[in-house]
Amino acid sequence: MLSFDTGVEISVWIILLIAVVVGSLSGFLGVGGGFLMVPALMYGLTMPGAVAVGTDIFQITISSAYGSFVYGQRGAIHFAMLLPLLVGSTVGTRIGAGLTDYLDDAELKTAFGVMLLIGSVSVASKTVSHTYGIELLHNLSLMLLLGGTLVMSAIIVILGFENIREEQLLAKQ
């Protein structure tokens, strides 16, 4: 049994089962497991949002290292694209990790839920587009995915900086 700060105790077997299911779905669907694992940790195992994200990112680091090795052996890595992706994602991760200290669980859960909803509508739109050859739905899918991500990211950054400002104002008083 594993204990959490929330007072919840969960069998390690349940955690392993969740990890295998999420890992399998990630492998089948070709998607990052974060959008599956974070809700499983937050809602299924009652972890606070920041702890769920941090735990997931740490486990992704190790599983991604294995995946990188396998894809590297196959020659399936575009090294010219790697450096800008690493720089951008490292900067973004630093900003995101810093802001989670200033966002409460409700804000994180709401933002994450809206992102999942937007992603789901985007995938459904793209699937219908490809099935029935409707180009407009394909374009809508791209707009939802990219636009939704940008808008939600901006909202999270704005909320984080507003919370930082409020905390600084309270500290001055």
Structure confidence by residue, pLDDT tens digits, 129-141: 999 999 999 999 9
Q: Are 55 and 41 in contact (CB under 8 A)?
A: yes
* 23, 104: one domain: no
* 73, 87: one domain: no
- Of residues 144 and 111, more confidence is placed in 144
* 65, 86: one domain: no
pTM: 0.63
Domain boundary among 20, 42, 77: 77
* 61, 104: one domain: no
- Of residues 27 and 167, more confidence is placed in 167
* 10, 47: one domain: yes
- Of residues 44 and 169, more confidence is placed in 169
Structure confidence by residue, pLDDT tens digits, 54-113: 888 888 888 888 888 998 999 988 989 999 999 998 998 888 888 888 888 888 888 888
Domain membership of residue 21 as a residue range: 1-77
* 52, 100: one domain: no
Q: How distant is the alpha carbon of residue 90 from its chain centre? A: 14
Average model confidence (pLDDT) across the chain? 86
Domain count, the chain: 2
CB hemisphere CA count around 86 (13 angstroms): 6
* 70, 90: one domain: no
Residue 101 — φ and ψ, nearest 5°?
-70, -20
**57 Cβ contact list (under 8 Å, min separation 6):** 34, 93
**Total count of residues recorded for the chain:** 173
* 36, 69: one domain: yes
Q: What integer pLDDT is reported at residue 166 of this predicted model? A: 92
